[in-house]
Structure 1
Amino acid sequence: MGSRLRRALLPDLSPWRSSRDFRLLWGQGLVTYFSSFMAMVALPLQIKELTGSPFAVGAMGAVELVPLVVFGLYGGALADAVDRRKVLLLSEAGMGVMAGVLLVNAMLPEPLLWPLYLVAAGVSGLAGLQRPALDSLLARIVPHDQQTAAAALNALRWQLGAIAGPALAGLVVAYAGHATAYATTVAGFVVSVLLCSRLAPAPPTHDADKPSLRGIAEGARYAWSRPVLLGTYAVDLAAMFFAFPNTIFPFLADELDAQWSLGLMYAAGTAGSLLLSLTSGWTTRVRRHGLFVVFGAAAWGLAIAAAGWFTDIWLVLLCLAVAGAGDMLSGLGRATIWNQTIPESLRGRLAGIEVLSYSVGPQLGQVRAGAMAGWTGTRAAFWSGGLACVASVGLLTAVLPKLVTYDAETDEDALRRRAQKEAAAGL
């Protein structure tokens, strides 16, 4: 009984056991997350020290958005046309060079401001270029029936980095300075490049055209023609647009007279998603992954609404943790459906669209939350956005019912993708 319960709850480690490349990518990603958080913490702090302006710090987000969108779309087409391992290697090396620029600038007697924005834009562009290749590579190297387990393990990797990385980065910046933080980032990218170099080549499995607007449009048409895929993108965008309130956490902390809780507010969602990852064994035996997407997004919205309703800070933090778990569940469903249904020939371009769905939504959501907080008040911005999220998920479910009825054992695209992978493996 005890062993069965552990297997039902603990993460499924099958992808680690079955795929050497997955183990390499998991380790590479963990190193990259930890080292990158050094720069992610040090960079805005350095801008703050140089300017003393909140606007100057916030402008970094605007500088990052356009390169992420443009290169995310181009990176999707590129991932379908060239060796994905090469894209991963070159982009990691490029981000290492960018970290080197930050290191050199921090060591100047009077560090300059403009290189910080230049690096922020450059890293965002490289990340957008890399992400489709990375996501589409995962779909190739992990067996078809282990995609949910792989998504859970990858989420666990990110969560470990997101919780421990900023805490360690804050200590390094506070006690050793920006230059040490940037040097640590450079070292991390060196290790990451070495790990990536050990990956097996991943050339296109078909005669691919060069990256072009026509190729990007072909991927968009495919996504539009598949109600299940369209539903995953639409639900994620709606959830993030209506119920992503991170930008107004400081104001909620003030209203609750709990300024000390601000850091916990930012960490609570990640803690909730981490808890779900650590107890995700049961998710690998589910076939109706569309239900994950819908129920997870609805739970996210309800929890955000409740966080705006309660006045006890500990109940608010609990709600934010539940929201994080709901977002994690929805993310598992989306990742599994994407990797189980999208053809190999289009995987990169669809991964580029995925980059947009989970990057643009939070950016617009923060704008909505800030505007609503200014108009109706902070707590009203929470609960109204959460309820709007739930309503939009319900509407999308009614409009796109195939998302809810998706079954990995009967869906035509999933069966076709399984057959392709089995044929490629010679089974």
Structure 2
Amino acid sequence: MYRAIRTGVDTSKSGADNSAEGTTESETGAPGRAEPAEPVEPKRSGGWRRWAMDTRPLRRPAYRRLWSSTIVTAVGSQLTAVAVPKQIYDITGSSAWVGYASFAGLLPLVVFALWGGAIADSVDRRKLLLVTNIGIAVTSLLFWIQAVTGLESVGVLMVLLAVQQAFFGLNSPARQASIARLVPKDELAAANALGSTVMQTGLVAGPLLAGALIPVVGLAELYLIDALALCATVWAVYRLPALPPLGTTTAAAGRAGLRGIAEGFRYISLNQVLLLSFLADIIAMVFGMPRALFPQLAAQTYAPYGEGLALGLLFAAIPIGAVLGGLMSGTFSRARRHGLMVIAAVVAWGVAITGFGLSSNLWVGVAFLAAAGVADMVSMVFRGAILLSAVTDELRGRMQGVFTVVVAGGPRLADVLHGTAGSALGARTAVAGGGLLVVVTMLVLAATMPALRRYRWSA
């Protein structure tokens, strides 16, 4: 539910150099100006390295610093993602209020992600990342202050959540759009795999750490730990090279308004490959994301295994599978048929979700969800690569703004759809039916609109 709360906030703010190593920093460490990085011919290795994670982007010092810092912040963001709903539930004793809080963050996320994408195309992206990361850190600090002072106001929590989501909406498009300026084109898929793996690792480790820390240090301190972790992110962003717009100043200034946002949507409507890549994610998430039914399944279908154990495993299984997929990303990150990889990944997701819905054994169900996580990782990697490689730099921020809205909004729509279907038809029927709908819809889309199926990366 709180997936949009800065999961892997700076994973994709990767850095690169003008030199073979890819850095534009001066000898004194002052940020320079980043130009599009030149491809580096990958070295082929034998044995396990053929299928292990492709780490070529880590050769670039700025990217390596950012990636390392986000290992900390990806976990820290999940401490807040656990603390907010926990605190709201403690105050109200109502799960409904927890749900209302999720929607309180949705509108500012949508609005500011779209606007943030336009801003990211008109200003120095490094400066925008600095401002927004500082804003997120200050918001986390305010979360801590309201908790330690015993304010116990749901209204204040929802306002802070809305502000934090607004900063995230401004931050995410700039972060994602920077990748193509900072790593070579042939490393985009590998960079996306590295970033997504960190994000998914945070989804697993963060909640587990939060559960362990709350009895020891208390709920309020989770916010403070997150705020302190963001200091490393701010420092890493400061060390990035400058990322000014590539267009003229006059042209860039016109991108940040409503006309610029409309231009972005117009571009998507005219670019069939981009449109289909967005539709692929919507199909997978809206029809096939069953997380709203996990509590019902844990209480009914998997009750003999222990409701608490079952619920924890169900929520952890998809992120665990995604992490495993990232660790084995060398098996697919060099593929050139990016469109076909997205189609195959979405179909595989649907098949795995169908298998989960049909399974009555907890461990079999968890295995299916983990397989779905692997498919989700593949889809994320290649959808991100398509978005970065098929769009010119002056439009990347706006495209990433739309991407953020799709990624954040799809699962929330799925919660409503699956919750309603589960109440009417039963949880397992709703899950299996949704998985089948993903498979059928994606295959029909691929057959009737071949642009995505035919799309391949080229240098």
Cross-structure match for 1:102: 143
Cross-structure match for 1:182: 223
CA distance in 2, matches of 1:340, 1:169: 37
Partner SS for 2:333: helix
CA distance in 2, matches of 1:271, 1:283: 18
Which letter maps to 2:455?
Answer: Y
CA drift at 1:351: 0.8
CA drift at 1:109: 4.2
How big is each residue's C-alpha offset from its partner over 1:303-345, in whole Å with a ceiling of 9 and x where there is no partner?
A: 1111111111111111111111111111111011111111011
Cα gap change, 1:4 to 1:213, in 2 (>3 Å): same
CA drift at 1:400: 2.0
Residue of structure 1 aligned with 2:235, choices 166, 183, 194: 194
Q: Which moved more, 1:25-34 or 1:357-366?
A: 25-34
Residue of structure 1 aligned with 2:203, choices 148, 151, 162: 162
Q: Aligned pair 1:323/2:372, yes or no?
A: yes
CA distance in 2, matches of 1:116, 1:41: 13
CA drift at 1:112: 2.8
Q: Aligned pair 1:12/2:12, yes or no?
A: no
Cross-structure match for 1:60: 101
CA distance in 1, matches of 2:372, 2:358: 14
How big is each residue's C-alpha offset from its partner over 1:229-287, in whole Å with a ceiling of 9 and x where there is no partner?
A: 11100111011110111011011112222312110001101111111111111223210
Residue of structure 1 aligned with 2:405, choices 326, 332, 356: 356
Q: Aligned pair 1:395/2:444, yes or no?
A: yes
Q: Aligned pair 1:149/2:190, yes or no?
A: yes
TM-score by length of 1: 0.93
Cross-structure match for 2:13: none
Q: Aligned pair 1:336/2:385, yes or no?
A: yes
Q: Aligned pair 1:209/2:253, yes or no?
A: yes
Report 1:243-254 matches (<5 A).
Answer: 243-254=288-299
Which letter maps to 1:336?
Answer: A
Partner SS for 1:285: coil
CA drift at 1:74: 0.1
Residue of structure 2 aligned with 1:233, choices 278, 284, 292: 278
How big is each residue's C-alpha offset from its partner over 1:94-139, in whole Å with a ceiling of 9 and x where there is no partner?
A: 0111111111111114433322111111111111111000000112
Cross-structure match for 2:328: 279
Partner SS for 1:81: coil
CA distance in 2, matches of 1:162, 1:5: 30
Q: Aligned pair 1:297/2:339, yes or no?
A: no
Q: Which moved more, 1:164-173 or 1:364-373?
A: 164-173
Which letter maps to 1:320?
Answer: L
Greater share of helix:
1
**Percentage identity across aligned positions?**
37
Cα gap change, 1:128 to 1:109, in 2 (>3 Å): closer
Cross-structure match for 1:43: 84
CA drift at 1:219: 1.1
Q: Is the 8 A contact 1:246 1:366 kept in 2?
A: yes
RMSD: 1.4
Q: Which moved more, 1:33-42 or 1:59-68?
A: 33-42
How big is each residue's C-alpha offset from its partner over 1:332-365, in whole Å with a ceiling of 9 and x where there is no partner?
A: 1101111111101111111111112211111111
How many aligned positions are there?
408
Which letter maps to 1:224?
Answer: S
Q: Aligned pair 1:33/2:82, yes or no?
A: no
CA drift at 1:25: 2.4
Cross-structure match for 2:25: none
CA distance in 2, matches of 1:311, 1:15: 42
Which letter maps to 1:264?
Answer: L
Partner SS for 2:46: helix
Q: Is the 8 A contact 1:298 1:390 kept in 2?
A: yes
Q: Is the 8 A contact 2:273 2:455 kept in 1?
A: yes
Which letter maps to 1:384?
Answer: G
Which letter maps to 1:357?
Answer: V
Cross-structure match for 1:173: 214
User: What stretches of structure 2 of length at least 5 have no aligned partner?
Assistant: 1-43
Which letter maps to 2:357?
Answer: G
Q: Which moved more, 1:250-259 or 1:129-138?
A: 250-259
Cross-structure match for 2:317: 268
Cα gap change, 1:13 to 1:119, in 2 (>3 Å): same
Cross-structure match for 1:119: 160
CA distance in 2, matches of 1:20, 1:83: 20
CA distance in 2, matches of 1:109, 1:268: 35
CA drift at 1:7: 2.0
Cross-structure match for 1:88: 129
CA drift at 1:32: 1.7
Cα gap change, 1:174 to 1:405, in 2 (>3 Å): same
Which letter maps to 2:158?
Answer: Y
Q: Is the 8 A contact 1:163 1:270 kept in 2?
A: yes
Partner SS for 2:126: helix
Partner SS for 1:102: helix
Q: Is the 8 A contact 1:228 1:400 kept in 2?
A: no
TM-score by length of 2: 0.87
CA distance in 2, matches of 1:199, 1:170: 34
Q: Which moved more, 1:146-155 or 1:279-288?
A: 279-288
Q: Is the 8 A contact 1:239 1:297 kept in 2?
A: yes
Partner SS for 2:178: helix
Partner SS for 1:284: coil
CA distance in 2, matches of 1:338, 1:362: 20
Cross-structure match for 1:423: none
Q: Is the 8 A contact 1:102 1:119 kept in 2?
A: yes
CA distance in 2, matches of 1:113, 1:243: 32
How big is each residue's C-alpha offset from its partner over 1:2-42, in whole Å with a ceiling of 9 and x where there is no partner?
A: 9613221111111110x223223212322221211111111
Q: Is the 8 A contact 2:201 2:320 kept in 1?
A: no
